[in-house]
Amino acid sequence: MHTLEARLDAHFATPSVDTLTPLQWLGFAEQKLLAFTAGAVFHDDDGRLTRARERFAYFPHDVWLYKLACQWRRIAEEQAFVGRTGQVGDDLGSRIIAARLARDIMRIGFLLERQYAPYAKWLGSAFERLPIAARLTPHLQSALGATEWQPRGEALAAAYRELAHTQNRLGIAPFEPVIGPYHERPFATLNVDDAVAALMGAITDPTVKNLSILGSFDQVIDSTPVAEDADLSQKIMRRVLS
């Protein structure tokens, strides 16, 4: 544990930073990447730790695009449910789904800002420091404070649109965001499938491009003990994405 290689092996299940594969990157929990790259360094005479931290500074470009596509896909799966549950009188269910979607919106915010998302108890305070938070927070507060499902869904849809505009301003996989009903049902939703298609189409690495649109570790596993076990995290994601 007193060598850089031992620290890397314990923290990331790899003793080297020179041969990281896309699947390895997708198996890293963002909170562990943040823990390794943030904070002060007080002793690094040969610069090896600094170089390792620079290597882990952020995801490779195509891995980043893939994570964005998968995060949009998470929204695609549930965005209509805020209205569907509310329409049948399940306000508690609508609120719970809205909260889940708000968290997914925040996670896209971190991705668009190219910042690692922290452990859950720091997510809100870290999100507040992102430049995009000023544009998203009013919509999130409106959605989470709404007492009826219609304004709840409309506020979330406004947040999706803001994310899309930000993605377009960055010039990565642009698409035309459109808010409309969910098929024939009166639920405010965004054309998220277009976002997913644009992002996957922008990926050039064939290994990443050919992956199923399932996600990285943080997008498929929500367990702190598993996130803290680097070797187990890597094994799980190899099975999920293979």
| Structural domain spans, the chain | 4-57+217-241, 61-209
The pLDDT profile of the chain, 242 residues, written as one tens digit per residue, is: 578 899 899 999 998 888 899 999 999 999 999 999 998 888 888 989 999 999 999 999 999 999 999 999 999 999 999 999 999 999 999 999 999 999 999 999 999 999 999 999 999 999 999 999 999 999 999 999 999 999 999 999 999 999 999 999 999 999 999 999 888 889 999 999 999 999 999 999 999 999 999 999 999 999 999 999 999 999 999 999 98
Tell me how far the alpha carbon of residue 10 is from its chain's centroid.
Answer: 24
pLDDT of residue 183: 84
pLDDT of residue 18: 86
* Burial class (CB within 10 angstroms; exposed 0-12, middle 13-18, buried 19+) of 104: buried
Helix, strand, coil percentages in the chain from 3-state DSSP, rounded to 5: 65, 5, 30
The residues with which 182 forms a beta bridge, in sequence order, are: 185
Buried b (16+ CB within 10 A) or exposed e, 142-169: bbeebeebeebbbbbbbbbbbbbebbbe
Output the CA–CA distances (angstroms, integers) from residue 28 to 31, 62, 87, 220, in the order listed: 9, 15, 39, 12
pLDDT of residue 43: 86
What six digits make up the tokens of 111?
A: 């991705």
pLDDT of residue 197: 98
Contacts of 179 (CB under 8 A, 6+ apart): 157, 158, 160, 161, 188, 189, 190
Q: What is the dihedral of CA 151, 156, 158, 164, to 10 degrees?
A: -170
pLDDT of residue 94: 98
- Helices 61-78 & 91-112 angle (0-180, nearest 10): 170
- Helices 149-170 & 133-145 angle (0-180, nearest 10): 170
- 206 CB neighbour count, 10 Å cutoff: 9
Nearest to 53 by CA among 72, 38, 75, 73: 38
* Burial class (CB within 10 angstroms; exposed 0-12, middle 13-18, buried 19+) of 107: buried
pLDDT of residue 132: 98
What six digits make up the tokens of 212?
A: 């199923």
pTM of the model: 0.95
